[in-house]
Structure 1
Amino acid sequence: MSEMEGDSVTLNIGSEDMKDGSQIWWRFGKYLLAEINVNNDSITVYDDVADGRFRDRLKLDNQTGSLTITNITTEQAGIYKLNIARAESSLSSPSSKTFNVSVYDSVHCCGPTEAVIRLVLSALVGVATVIVLVYEIRSRRAEQDQAHIHTSGSIEI
């Protein structure tokens, strides 16, 4: 994920993972940022770790398990890891997801030339997508017409 400095970024866990998990941990490097214990309905956010760089910036959604970092700065850029311990049996292994968050400074984001290049590239991707879709639709229609002709031509009375 690439986010502009000052924006909020939400790291989504996924509804199935939240339902299946009994313990959920969010980490940034070696630091534990937040945890949810579904069994006893406890939620803890540790925003005073990592020299306070997350102070008053973390929000943990107790319904979805998603972690939001508000007013993100380049200090919060890095690897975030989600660990989920499963409730159903001791044989199931915990799952994990990794999120790589990069943060760019708004001053260096988009000069006029870069903005025009991005706009042109986005337009080209959009046009290419439409061309591919039209080609696919026409190909399928031609196949259906050919199958219909073949089917109606092979019936003898």
Structure 2
Amino acid sequence: MLKKMVYTFIYFGLWLLGGVLSVYKEEEVETISVMEGDSVILNTNVTEKKKDDHILWTFRPQNSETRIAEIYKHIISIYDNEENNERFRGRLQIDEQTGSLTITNINKLHSGLYKVQIISGDVKHKSFSIAVYAPLTIPVISDSPQNPSVSKRSSNQNCSLLCSVLDVSDVSLSWYKGNCLLSSISVSDLNKTISLPLEIECLDDSYSCVVAYSFTNRTAHLNITDLCWTCPGAGQSLFFTLSIIFVCLLLLLVSIVVLVFCHRKNYKQATQEAQTTEEEVSYTDVTFAQRATNVETNGREQAEYSEVHLR
């Protein structure tokens, strides 16, 4: 009997633990990455709020949690004047129909966990983790310190370049040749300056340096010929390509002109032939003349008609 009670207790405990874990599993956290100065909308996924629905928004930057906005019976309350919520002053908007929260002109002080509680017969929860990043600056491409100027390089010296970006964190810095990745580094330290070198023989394609967050990037293109010389034949190849394009366009234009000329000529000739045919066409009149009438010959009537003249 005791053994049976122990099994029952264990079974009930596991069932209760499973229920608690399922509740936590249902409350998923949506991660949002955004740059400073942007606006963010936290959607409740409510199509239209009912009259007695209660929607409450809270914010937890670290350990403490405070309410920041709520809507109940179409009454909207924004708590941006409280001591813990001064960072939100003038930045919060709540949609009266859906209860969705908008944060405008966001900055790093707004990074943290946001929760919404929707009470409508039952209780629903939704959480958002917002990470705010500093704006990205365009990378700077320069000569490597040990790289001689173009005029001082010998014909067998390579071109050494350096791509740099200042005061960044959680970014990657990459060199590309066209769409092909050449090299890349990542950094997670706060406010760090990073650089990535590149060594090429000469400019034979389009090169670019890209600094990127996980959700956006900025690009610098290597189009300054005083950093590297152009590969022999690269300019000729470009000239040849442009020449081919020009010739093709010229042939297309000539073909269009010839087609238009032929069409107009055929149309004009057909019109002239139609006018000539109309002028040459004449219609005839038929005239019947009777020369003799009803002559009896051997007891029978005989009629004789004249010839038909066409004119």
Which residue of 44, 53, 77 maps to 1:44?
Answer: 77
Contact 2:79 2:85 in 1 (8 A): no
Instruction: Quote the offset at 1:15 in angstroms.
Output: 2.4
- Give the gaps of 5 or more residues in structure 2: 1-31, 137-167, 174-208, 217-311
Instruction: Quote the offset at 1:113 in angstroms.
Output: 2.3
Matches within 5 A, 1:57-72: 57-72=91-106
Matches within 5 A, 1:79-118: 79-86=113-120, 88=121, 92=122, 94-107=123-136, 108=168, 112-115=209-212
* CA offset digits 1:71-102 (Å, max 9, x no partner): 0000001100000111x4xxx3x111000010
- Give the gaps of 5 or more residues in structure 1: 120-157
Contact 1:21 1:84 in 2 (8 A): no
Which residue of 44, 62, 71 maps to 1:13?
Answer: 44
The structure showing larger relative contact order (alpha-carbon pairs under 8 Å, at least 6 residues apart) is 1
Residues of 2 paired with 1:75 and 1:58: CA distance? 14
Change (3 A) 1:21 1:13: farther
Aligned residues: 111
Contact 1:17 1:84 in 2 (8 A): no
Three-state SS of the structure 2 residue aligned to 1:53 is helix
Instruction: Quote the offset at 1:61 in angstroms.
Output: 1.1
Higher strand fraction (1 or 2): 2
Match of 1:145 in 2: none
Match of 2:283 in 1: none
Residues of 1 paired with 2:172 and 2:91: CA distance? 25
* CA offset digits 1:101-155 (Å, max 9, x no partner): 100000436864234x989xxxxxxxxxxxxxxxxxxxxxxxxxxxxxxxxxxxx
Residues of 1 paired with 2:126 and 2:98: CA distance? 15
Contact 2:47 2:98 in 1 (8 A): no
TM-score by length of 2: 0.33
* Aligned residue identity for 2:43: N
Check if 1:24 corresponds to 2:59: no
Instruction: Quote the offset at 1:21 in angstroms.
Output: 6.7
* Aligned residue identity for 1:48: N
Residues of 2 paired with 1:118 and 1:15: CA distance? 26
Higher helix fraction (1 or 2): 1
TM-score by length of 1: 0.62
Identity of matched residues, %:
40
Contact 2:68 2:85 in 1 (8 A): no
Three-state SS of the structure 2 residue aligned to 1:56 is coil
Contact 1:26 1:34 in 2 (8 A): yes
Q: Based on CA coordinates, which of the two structures has the bigger radius of gyration?
A: 2
Residues of 2 paired with 1:45 and 1:63: CA distance? 16
